[in-house]
Amino acid sequence: MGLFTKDIQTMDDMLLHGLRDIYYAEQQIIKALPTMIEQATNRDLSQGLKAHLEETHKQIERLDQAFKKLGETPSGTDCPAIDGLIKEANATSSEIADKSVLDAAIVANAQAVEHYEIARYGTLIAWAEELGHDDIVRFLTTNLNEEKAANTKLNTVALRKGVNRKAAS
């Protein structure tokens, strides 16, 4: 089901599709993060990615609860956006031999994923609020706040912990 297909006729349909999209995305992220963790050589980057992997498991649990509040079975739908971001990350990392440059690329790729998630959660929150689903807004807001915090941590690793500086030298 595409975002603007005949299967989506109402705002409720869009909300459900969006939840399925982010559910799929979070599951793909869980599959992709271990490789990024393994490739990362910067200790702060590796630790941050490990922590976010644990958070992502909790985010899926909250999405499960959101589906249940809507009377729906948790399920994902293909998300070409996240698939593309992960494919690009894998392609980039396979091309970079210099470990310092690879760390900077991992940060950039992880931030691209975070920005996608931030956009998706923000939209879902707006839709859920409009539809009066305050019970799921809390779950989505918690996930959004974690994604924003992960992005901030990635900025810190890149700028203050020296990943970008080391890659540039």
Residues 37-88: pLDDT tens digits? 999 999 999 999 999 999 999 999 999 999 999 999 999 999 999 999 999 9
Average pLDDT over every residue of 6-17: 89
CA angle (128 as vertex; 122, 155 as ends), nearest 5: 15
- d(C-alpha 106, C-alpha 134), whole Å: 36
Q: Measured between alpha carbons, how far is 65 from 26 in angstroms, rounded to an integer?
A: 15
Q: State both tokens at 47.
A: 């630790």
Consecutive H or E run containing 30 = helix 11-39
Listed in sequence order, the residues at least 6 apart from 131 whose beta carbon sits closer than 8 Å to its beta carbon are 11, 12, 15
Q: Is the dihedral of CA 159, 28, 134, 132 positive or negative?
A: positive
| CB 121 within 8 Å of CB 22 | yes
CA 37 centroid distance within chain? 15
Average confidence (pLDDT) over 3-26: 88
Would the pTM of this model clear 0.75, i.e. be above it? Answer: yes
- H helix and E strand count, the chain: 6, 0
Q: What is the model's pLDDT at position 1?
A: 44
Whether the pLDDT of residue 13 is over 70: the answer is yes
- From the number of C-beta atoms within 10 Å of its C-beta (0-12, 13-18, 19+), residue 42 rates as buried
Mean pLDDT of the chain: 93
CATH topology of domain 11-168: Ferritin (1.20.1260)
